[in-house]
Structure 1
Amino acid sequence: MSASGERPSRAAIVATARESIARGSKSFAAASLLFDRKTRERAWLLYAWCRRCDDLADGQEFGHDLSVVPDPAARLAQIRAMTDAALAGEMVGDPAFDALRIVAAETRLPRRFAHDLIEGFRLDLEDWRPRSEDDLYRYCYHVAGAVGCMMAIAMGVSPDDEDTLDRACDLGMAFQLANIARDIEEDDRGGRCYLPQEWLAEMDIPPGQHMKPPFRPRLTVLARRLVDRAAAFEASARIGTRRLSLRSAWAVLAAAGIYGAIGREVAARGDHAWDHRAGTSAAAKLGWIARALGQAVQRNRLYPVAPRDADLWRRPRG
């Protein structure tokens, strides 16, 4: 509520959401400008809620400076209660959660996707670690694949179009796998590790020692494996852009190019991948945006209809 007791307008909440994405992710902010106005605003609103939940869970500010949360159970309860209120159409009083309220009211946003994302926050707050590759994918779904599904809904994809939602989930999976590869050192400083324990054992890396210099070449092998897995999900996601409007396909393909480049940079750096954080320059982003326009225009030729790869991990249904 404002000081006068009036509800903040949609325009005011959109403006706050735009500031959130500008501060939290330059890559997503750049790609979002390619959407039509309605879709762009909904993407900002949805991002603002995701960013706020993530910051509450990780003790961060706009995705930076991971820290230990003193009372994780209370944080999770707060996220759940405010999210459920927003999904029920209640005025929450927090701009990011009211952003979710707006998106849910304007679309047929299935509640299960919001709840699936919160499950990802629970895993982090409980210091969960993946044992197997399947565990890794399950985590990536909860923290990013579900977001891909929600973004697709914001773009106008029907909640009943499970195949297109699968492709949208694939893009979220690709983004998260690239993020994990890029952030191995940062996560280690925060006491987290998303490399499957089975992978570490395969490389004969003792628990908690993966960032130590003697193991750097073996860690590089695992980082490249993450990037390869991300590329497979990205390729699947690109086929799904056939079912989007031209501008939505342009935005999605630009984001795919930008994040794919981050993963490839990590792989190319080899043992020096974590000397400083991998990223893309403003000029590089513009290059990917330009390339993505051509890809969007020619997407029916570039990405022919094909069944989704049966070997790719599949998100839970219902």
Structure 2
Amino acid sequence: MIDPHDLEHCRSAIRHGSLSFHAASRLMPTRLRDPALALYAFCRLADDAVDLHDHKRAAVRRLRERLDAAYRGVPRDAPADRAFAAVVEDYDMPRALPEALLDGLAWDAERRRYATLSDLRAYSARVAGAVGAMMCVLMGMRDAHALARACDLGVAMQLTNIARDVGEDARARRLYLPTDWMEAARLDAESFFAEPLPLDPVREMTRRLLHEADRLYARAEAGIAALPMAVRPGIFAARHIYAGIGLAVRRNGYDSVSWRGRTSRRQKAGCLGLSGLRALASAGMPRSAVLYAPPLDETAFLVEAAARPGPARHAWGEGRAGSLVSVFAQLEARDRDRRALARDAAGAS
């Protein structure tokens, strides 16, 4: 059980450090909201420990020591560590999931760049897909299909963050745009750092990131609709609030260099209302074939780590029925992609 004083500290940290998650958490039932706040507080602490310190490699090393202590049941004497250790014990959290998060933060410490969109998805899988998988564990959803869609949602959120922060990252001499995109556009990273401008090629790369995020949000929705009804509003809220950031960037002509997209309090409130309605509308609806789509190659290791042993772990690739479901899932996802492209084209005109 999480100590109430530790939980209040976690709640305060999220209230000030992650407005989007704090807003979404208001729609979660208490039995999920409290451990989720503890989980997010530890993740926030880990991210800040690397991002806000000059000696980043040493910061990652200390985080690994804190994670090890939490899993040994002797956490550091700090509220977020104690709360996270309680979550680990109460929910039998697979260690590979927070380890993946720390791997992603280590990549940040190295200032690693990503050659392809697949490489960027691999990074996003670690810093955000792992959090989606951990949320599934808190819900008791250890089914491989639900885990795959939760990882889709986490990756979509991270790609949205990257698209929003292109200018901010450039001014800090960080680059998350795939370097093969940069090369194709004949843009040099050092020149971009020296003078970050919302050039047309940069806007186009931002558009491509948001298009990929939209594709994954659509895949994730099939998983949200398969969750217990009590938790659907909160997860729908997270999906819509983060997608709203992408919509703000899109409305600004994909310029996230001279302006940082965000959602207002009023927009967040609108997302909460929409999410409740969407949760109600999903009741009794047949499950989408997209639920059974294979996990992203970049998130499959997270699904394997969190799924319970048994036939369901590999159900997406077994037998003629599994193959048929996969075909339908791909067709439905492709149809969603075509509709998204049509919306982009309409907006551009």
- How does the TM-score come out when normalised to structure 1? 0.89
1:288 equivalenced with 2:281 (yes/no) = no
In the other structure, the counterpart of 2:75 is: 91
In the other structure, the counterpart of 1:124 is: 108
| Alpha-carbon spacing, 1:240–1:9, altered in 2? closer, same or farther (3 Å) | closer
Instruction: Kindly state the Cα deviation for residue 251 of structure 1 after the two structures are TM-superposed.
Output: 0.5
Distance in 2, matches of 1:279 and 1:204, equals 29
Tell which deviates more after alignment, 220-229 or 266-275.
266-275
In the other structure, the counterpart of 2:217 is: 234
Matched residue type, 1:42: P
Tell which deviates more after alignment, 228-237 or 84-93.
84-93
Where structure 2 has 5 or more consecutive residues not aligned to the other structure, the ranges are: 306-349
Tell which deviates more after alignment, 223-232 or 187-196.
187-196
Question: Over the residues paired in the alignment, what is the CA RMSD in angstroms?
Answer: 2.0
Show the 5 A alignment for 1:199-214: 199-210=181-192, 212=195
Instruction: Kindly state the Cα deviation for residue 94 of structure 1 after the two structures are TM-superposed.
Output: 1.9
Count of aligned pairs between the two proteins:
300
In the other structure, the counterpart of 2:99 is: 115
Partner residue of 2:172 out of 178, 181, 190: 190
Instruction: Kindly state the Cα deviation for residue 308 of structure 1 after the two structures are TM-superposed.
Output: 4.4
| Alpha-carbon spacing, 1:51–1:58, altered in 2? closer, same or farther (3 Å) | same
Distance in 2, matches of 1:9 and 1:254, equals 25
Distance in 2, matches of 1:80 and 1:314, equals 22
Instruction: Kindly state the Cα deviation for residue 215 of structure 1 after the two structures are TM-superposed.
Output: 6.1
Please give the secondary structure, in 2, of the residue aligned with 1:174.
helix
In the other structure, the counterpart of 2:156 is: 174
Distance in 2, matches of 1:241 and 1:307, equals 9
1:248 equivalenced with 2:231 (yes/no) = yes
Partner residue of 2:202 out of 211, 219, 223: 219
| Alpha-carbon spacing, 1:271–1:44, altered in 2? closer, same or farther (3 Å) | closer
In the other structure, the counterpart of 1:140 is: 124
Matched residue type, 2:86: I
Distance in 1, matches of 2:26 and 2:164, equals 25
Q: Which has the higher contact order (CA 8 A, sep 6+)?
A: 2
In the other structure, the counterpart of 1:4 is: none
In the other structure, the counterpart of 2:29 is: 36
Distance in 1, matches of 2:133 and 2:2, equals 27
Percentage identity across paired residues of the two chains: 33
Matched residue type, 1:196: P
Partner residue of 2:4 out of 8, 11, 24: 11
Please give the secondary structure, in 2, of the residue aligned with 1:298.
helix
Tell which deviates more after alignment, 170-179 or 265-274.
265-274
Where structure 1 has 5 or more consecutive residues not aligned to the other structure, the ranges are: 1-7, 60-68
